[in-house]
Structure 1
Amino acid sequence: MRWRGTSPRDWFLLLGSAAFVAAGLWGMSRGGDVSATIAATAFFGACGALAVHKIADKLAIQRVLDDPDFSPRIPGGVPLVATRRGVALASVGLVALGLLMASTGGAIGRGFVVVSLLMAGLGGVVLILIAVKRGHVQSLTFTPEGLRVRDGSLRYLAPWDGVSIELVTLFDQPFAAVYLRQVS
């Protein structure tokens, strides 16, 4: 398996999270404060799951980029919109983790419980917004005339001579950046 595309930060997050989860499980087996240990172990377990997801995404992207036959193609006339599924799954995770940490983290302190409940509440608000379809919708549509941009209720067409697209990286993740400039 090839590891190109990942960064030491990704592996540090994964190994650090695994170490804290192992320490939490060891502490529970030794008769420590089980409720506080569950809260901390759940938090670092979630961090570890995010690290695994991030590493898997980076490896999948790198496999595609390494393919000599890879040629990006974007269908014209089809709006490119972020899916709500990923946001909904992250929100469910926030609610579940926040409630678990709030219910088991009382021994850690009142501030910990308040922050945990705020985390769960934030996830709940996002789920409600998704359910009533009030989320802010942004999309890009490639047309022969130019790039059609939708940002909430604002919609406009950027002619192709005012658009540039570059492959860039942000936080060690490659993505296509679309730049719009004013055309005289």
Structure 2
Amino acid sequence: MDKVTFKDWLFALIGLLFTLSSLLIIQKDFNTGITTLVFFGACFAVAVHIIVRKLRLQRQSLRTVTVVGGEPIHASKKRIALLGIGMLAFGSTLMLFQPDDNRVFYGITLLIALTGAVLLVGLFSGRLAKTYIQFDPSGFTFGYPKGNVSIPWEAITDLYRGEIHNNQAVFLSVAAENILVAPASYLAKVNKQMASSRKWTGADFVIMTSTYGIDAPVLMAAIERYITQPEARAELLAQRKLSED
């Protein structure tokens, strides 16, 4: 999972070659050259990011991971902003310089641009910033704009990490009857979200760790520690008290 594969290097090489070739295309066909540059330039950047991330994780050596208890770990505003700006700029540029009148291409690029715009609106309105995860002595909490879900440590039945479209993720399965939802009216929506998540990912909850600026191995090690070492949970309360003093 963390090993740089031949496919990773191949994608990076293809992205680089097409990015360089776009500089030649621009001289003959400006619009085609720009769209080629933007598309494959973005592909090259993503491929390089994946390679750098995997190399960094290979050098990572974890011993014990501790967390400040009772402190919400919010979604990174910087990462959401960069993603939103990137998608908006990417989609808008491809729309503006598309080489021919292709409605399908236009629709796809419009959707990308609108998605970026929605992310930025959600960020600046404060809605996305309200999403968080939190460690407590009693369990692990997901915070959402309209409610929160607290999962007792004993109710986490499966924990593993993986990737979704080359993005780091931690997957949790839980004993649904033991989770605590506040307010109670939010329970129906949580059950619906869990059912959808199980259908598409096989897990009740999925944490896209880059959203919070955390590496998946680090987050998984922390959660796993508090599941398997009940005595360690006391430090979550102790650190919370310390931060309040």
User: TM-score w.r.t. structure 1 length?
Assistant: 0.79
**Taking structure 1 as reference, are residues 148 and 113 closer, same or farther at Cα in structure 2, changes over 3 Å only?**
closer
Deviation at 1:180, TM superposition (A): 2.2
Check the 8 A contact 1:99/1:116 in 2, yes or no: yes
State the match for 2:20 in structure 1: 22
Q: Deviations over 1:81-131 (max 9, x none)?
A: 321221210110111122222222143634433432332222112211211
Relative distance call for 1:168 and 1:121 in structure 2 (3 A) is: closer
CA–CA separation in structure 1 for the residues paired with 2:130 and 2:64: 28
Equivalent residues of 1:147, 1:163 under 8 A apart: no
Q: How many residues align?
A: 176
Name the counterpart of 2:159.
Answer: 166
Q: Is the 8 A contact 2:77 2:129 kept in 1?
A: no
Matched residues in 2 for 1:173 and 1:5: separation? 14
Aligned to 1:73, the other structure's residue is in SS state coil
1:64-88 deviation digits (Å, cap 9, x = unpaired): 13xxx63222222222332122121
Show the 5 A alignment for 1:25-174.
25-28=23-26, 31-65=27-61, 70-107=63-100, 109-135=102-128, 137-164=130-157, 166-170=159-163
Distance 1:135 1:183, change over 3 A: closer
Q: Cα distance 1:165–1:173, how it changes in 2: closer, same or farther (>3 A)?
A: farther
Amino acid at match of 2:95: A
- Gap regions ≥5 residues in structure 2: 179-245
Give the secondary-structure state (helix, strand or coil) at the position aligned to 1:149.
strand
AA matched with 1:146: G
What's the C-alpha RMSD, in Å, of the aligned pairs?
2.7
Match of 1:178 in 2: 172
CA distance in structure 2 between the aligned counterparts of 1:13 and 1:108, rounded to whole angstroms: 28
Structure 1 residue runs of 5 or longer lacking an equivalent are none
Question: Structure 1 CA distance, aligned partners of 2:108 and 2:86?
Answer: 15
User: Structure 1 residues 145 and 54, CA, compared in 2 at 3 Å: closer, same or farther?
Assistant: same
Q: Which secondary structure does the structure 2 equivalent of 1:72 belong to? A: coil
**Per-residue deviation at 1:53?**
1.4
1:8 equivalent to 2:6? Answer yes
Secondary structure of the residue that 2:88 maps to in structure 1? helix
Q: Answer whether contact 1:167 1:174 (CA < 8 A) is retained.
A: no
Cα distance change on mapping 1:136 and 1:15 into 2, 3 Å: same
More displaced, 77-86 or 150-159?
150-159
Give 1:167 deviation, angstroms: 4.2
Identity across matched positions, percent: 25
Aligned equivalents of 2:176, 2:112: Cα separation in 1: 41
Equivalents in 1 of 2:119, 2:35: separation in Å? 23
